[in-house]
Amino acid sequence: MRLFNQLLAVCLFSACFFSCKNESKNNVSQDTINTYSNYVNTMKSQGIATGNILVYENGNVVFKSSNGLRSINPIDSLDIDSQFRLASVSKQFTGMAIMKLKEAGKLEYDQKVNTILTDFPYDNITVRQLLYHISGLTDYERVIANHFVKEDSTKQYILGNDEILEVFYRVNPELDFNPGEKWDYSNTGYLVLATIVEKVSGQHFRDFLKEHITDPIGMKNTTLYKYKLGADANMPNRVFGYNLALNQQDLVANDYDIVNDVRGDGGIFSTVEDLYKWNMALANHTIIPKAYLDEAWESGQTNDGEYVGYGFGWFLEYNPGEPRVINHSGGWVGFSTFLHNEVDAKSGFVILTNDSGLNFGSIYNNVRRIRAGEDFEMPKKSVYKAMAKQLYKTNVDDAISMYHDVKTDTINYRVSESDINQLGYLLLNENRVDAATKVFKLNMSEYPQSANVYDSYGDALLMQGDSLQALANFKKCFKMDDSLIYANEKAEALENELSKS
């Protein structure tokens, strides 16, 4: 399985800033505010970045902080105005763009996509199905990986919607399922939605967002960024993603991907303060009438009536009749983000990080804990980072022995199938194939009921040249879990190759 860029990172730090208001209307105690500050300062003292955080209650900001690196080349610290890539948090802006076109009478949610995009090769998908992630469109990343031809192997290509859809339309891949049959998170769907906005409005998506969404509510530090590889004088506060090399010593960039110019499913850069403005504009209905938001925050349904828990670009965390809570996470290259909006309470929080998600889960959990009046907890050590450190110090066998020594120490260590799997792929990326194979084999012995471990082991075996055993593991993976389509695709491709030899 492809290793997504949820990699490790060293967390150097910068100054921590916080602001608070003590008005009783905030209903937030000074002890709670102090706990936020103590948490960030404690993380900072241990060299752990927390990125940029903003918390607001009853419409008022009660805490904000900045702690980490804006860039590693040159080394530069974050500040509260740093502009982070939002990744999938961008999807709610795409949903709003579609809503604005609906408000203007320029499209209907149940309109067929191919009545707008005439080259769109499917005649049974609606705009609403794209919004709800129930369209069945396959992943565009997989299509690009398999079918985009690099004419210049030395060039770092940066593809956007036009280039991607050109390949997508040419390949015309089968749908993963019939539209409306089930829910399956789809970046492709939101890419298509942004292209719909451009077709209907006659504007580039960037300009539409600026004119109709961000400028009207004063989001002056928010933009759909035209990606550049290096520093950009026109965007001096831009944040770059980074991580820590597998040797646990070197800082390395984690900012580039071939599809970094895709718009609709990601690509927007913003600040914590601008996102606070956005959440408040939604809560106060200042950007679009309440009736449109009420519809956007109703759960989509599959053809058989099952609720999917997703609206027009937001996950929904409430039941009918309860106070509305909407949110969305984002993860792309070095960035992990989260935007939480308790609409009716006019409260929420923003977390923006760029160190490849090293401690993102811990940061998120601690913001939730502190808001609930609980104390914070320091993050556990990553077992795969400790294994990697040992591996580079001695060898993979010692690293595996160390794993067995600490795996039951759940107080101090975080141990999971995904962690071991990640280490295996990181080793493959560094061409340490034999070591990776042993790590994947360890994962199989620890988690024999997981289908994915067999796919991963198959990847390593294939790189070792053992095609027959690789094929057997791909097939076993798909037999255990037929939703893991990638394993079946690899098995079929490998069988075709073996039949030719």
Q: Could you report the per-residue pLDDT of 102-134, keeping only the tens digit for each? A: 999 999 999 999 999 999 999 999 999 999 999
Q: Averaged over 281-293, what is the pLDDT?
A: 98
Res. 5: pLDDT tops 60:
no
The tens digit of pLDDT for each residue in 193-244 reads: 999 999 999 999 999 999 999 999 999 999 999 999 999 999 999 999 999 9
Q: Averaged over 413-437, what is the pLDDT?
A: 95
Q: Averaged over 475-499, what is the pLDDT?
A: 94
pLDDT attached to residue 449: 97
Rounded to whole angstroms, the Cα distance separating 216 from 193 reads 22
Q: Averaged over 18-30, what is the pLDDT?
A: 53
**For residue 425, which amino acid is it?**
Y
Neighbours of 52 (CB within 10 A): 30
Rounded to whole angstroms, the Cα distance separating 337 from 270 reads 11
pLDDT attached to residue 13: 28
Of 64, 191, 180, 67, the closest CA to residue 133 belongs to: 180
pLDDT attached to residue 25: 40
pLDDT attached to residue 26: 57
Confidence of residue 3 (pLDDT cuts 50, 70, 90): very low
Residue 66, C-beta contacts closer than 8 angstroms, at least 6 positions apart: 14, 15, 16, 17, 51, 52, 77, 78, 79, 80, 82
Neighbours of 409 (CB within 10 A): 12
Of 82, 52, 92, 51, the closest CA to residue 221 belongs to: 82
Q: Averaged over 67-93, what is the pLDDT?
A: 98
Pairing verdict, β 381-382 and 413-414:
parallel
CA 311 remoteness from chain centre: 18
Res. 369: pLDDT tops 70:
yes
pLDDT attached to residue 21: 35
pLDDT attached to residue 485: 93
Confidence of residue 445 (pLDDT cuts 50, 70, 90): very high
CB 477 within 8 A of CB 455: yes
Q: Averaged over 87-105, what is the pLDDT?
A: 98
pLDDT attached to residue 501: 75
pLDDT attached to residue 27: 75
Q: Averaged over 29-40, what is the pLDDT?
A: 96
Res. 290: pLDDT tops 60:
yes
What rounded mean pLDDT belongs to the chain? 93
pLDDT attached to residue 263: 98
Which two three-digit tokens encode residue 20? 């608070």
Q: Averaged over 327-338, what is the pLDDT?
A: 98
Higher pLDDT: 2 or 354? It is 354
Helix residue ranges, H only, 255-413: 272-283, 290-296, 360-371, 383-393, 396-406
- Judged by average pLDDT, the poorest of 212-216, 237-241, 366-370, 418-422 is 418-422
Which two three-digit tokens encode residue 426? 């990181």
Res. 470: pLDDT tops 50:
yes
Confidence of residue 320 (pLDDT cuts 50, 70, 90): confident
